[in-house]
Amino acid sequence: MKTYSVYFMPDAIKDLENVYEYIAEQSGFHERAWNYMEKLRFRCQELETYPARGRQRNDLMDGLRVYPLDKRVVAAFIVDEGEQTVCILGIFYGGGDYEVLLGSSQKK
């Protein structure tokens, strides 16, 4: 079985940090926020064994896939078959509109 390397792009890392900060602030429990952020990170790492998960969104960006990590969280990523890598572009929590953000970056 192929194994892919999973990389978090800077925006995705910042998104995870924002999730942590939001949950810690709202709940007052830093450990709960950390555990949730780690759960999301682990779900992204699962793409190393089967990166074709989720839904393809070529309408927003060539090769873009979106994958639900939890009820209210989606990861946006691209797969490079030649390099056997998965690049997590962003993690969108709650009302984060990945279609607008990723669609606008394609138009630049």
CATH code (residue 14)? 3.30.2310.20
50-92 tens-digit pLDDT: 999 999 998 888 999 999 999 889 999 999 999 999 999 999 9
Rounded distance between C-alpha atoms, residue 70 and residue 41, angstroms: 11
Q: Determine the structural domain holding residue 81 and report its residue range.
A: 5-106
pTM (two decimals): 0.84
CA-wise closest residue to 66 among 42, 39, 84, 86: 86
Asked if residue 6 lies in contact with residue 91, where contact means CB atoms within 8 angstroms, the answer is: no
Domains held by the chain: number: 1
- Phi/psi for 105 (5° steps) reads -70, -25
pLDDT higher than threshold 70 for residue 105 = no
pLDDT higher than threshold 60 for residue 101 = no
Asked if residue 16 lies in contact with residue 40, where contact means CB atoms within 8 angstroms, the answer is: yes
